[in-house]
Structure 1
Amino acid sequence: LNDPLLGSVDRPFKCKTCNNSMSECPGHFGHIELAKPVYHPGFIKKTKKILEMVCHECGKLLCDKDNDEGFLDAIRTRDPKVRFARVWAMCKDKKFCENETTKKGGDKDGFESSKPQVTKVPHGGCGSAHPNIRQKALALFARVKGETNDEETAQKKEIKDKPITPETAHAVLKKISEEDMWNMGLNKDYARPEWLIVTVLPVPPPPVRPSISMDGTGTGMRNEDDLTYKLGDIIRANGNVKQAIQDGAPAHICLEFEELLQYHVATY
């Protein structure tokens, strides 16, 4: 946090990166590589919507232009925000990632119907069930509604929410193809969906969070900025997560450290 490569806030010392004085050096950003990904508090709602639009197994968009009426009109929308909203409205109620060809028309006895027969083109999905996504504070949960018979009891129908960790969400978002990104209204160069999950945290240079010398000489006690204190909490929490993973700690211990890291990043 006080690396001289980030810049200087004292007149006697020069920056080790650009070798300029305090008045000329603008400061240089550093970064912290997180041991585990965490949700960005500003983008968690957008992350939830994208997870509702794509299959969690294959990363394919749940709607396509061959099988869903109105999808072609939706992706022709020029405004990316409006396009995203229209595609999300079509995908959010899908229960499966379709993978088979289905035909409409004709009755059970094989007689031709008066209605024209419509053949659906294969969607090319994996056929897996798509869960309902729920958000609670800075956590996402998946609930799969299975098809149940009337004879089954209500207890069997109840399915517990399964947490979607930031690591899982990041893996799903990385599977999305560039074509599907465009269809959703996302830019593959500047707004990739996997970037919504925080994996590397930028560290602002000292001029952004200057420390104040107590005696005015620059050599005695210093008061650190609030951002510096918070970055210290993040570094300690990140170190605890790394240590727990290296030591092979139980899953619930690792989860507690990850939740603490999530809290510190969200309140930074």
Structure 2
Amino acid sequence: MTFDTFSIGERSVRRLGFGAMHLPTEAGAVREGAIAVARRAVELGVNLIDTAHLYGWGANEELLAEALYPYPDDLLIATKVGVAPPDPPREAALCGRPDFLRDQVEQGLRRLRVERLELLQLHRVDPEVPLADQVGALRELQVAGKIGHIGLSEVTVAQLEEARQIIDVASVQNRYNMLDREHEAVLDACDAAGIAFLPWRPVHPAAAKPTPEIATVAAELDATSAQASLAWLLHRSPVVLPIPGTGTIVHLEENVAAASIKLSSDQRRRLGLSD
């Protein structure tokens, strides 16, 4: 199994990425701290960073641009579109209308200061709009050179198969971790097709409330339960690219260190993995 890298299109990224959702974007010292975390992630060799229009309604994208632009050549920033901000009395809502998706892509280009979004994921499938219309709009933007690769988030196997009839799906971002395997079938489908699988919420609840077996294995590895959980994901399949998020450098460094943890055959078995 290859632990180090995975190719998304022509881009080779290290398999342990960084989720930027938890970076605070308000002005002042907390923003400076968030910028320092993003820069430290790149210093540590992380070259896959996940963000979304939803995270601060574009503020998270702007923060990453402030911290990292001009971007290193090997850095892949993945962003997401498809959620409309609150418009009282309406709360935030899914919106997969082609015109709306096109507008959010244009906003992402401006905020990230790029001419092309290298990996653009549909944040959620809008049940009110045919999936073909949603991914078709993204495909048009891809042909126009504004999107490099297209991914999906929180999809079923059936939705993934339907989308693949229209586009080349580069990634899937579903909730998945050692204690929450609801989307096991989706991961298996990605594994079979060679599609990158970016599990969000990759360590909870295993880190907060580890089972006795997780705690025992972590102790054997001289690691935290969170590190053991990330190591488990990296062992689960070569297409898995965890994107743990944090707002502190200490926690970031702890997460990145998990990439070097190797589970023994016995430890994998005890944690529910087959060789």
TM-score calculated relative to the size of structure 2:
0.23
TM-score calculated relative to the size of structure 1:
0.24
| Larger RCO (CA under 8 A, 6+ residues apart) | 1
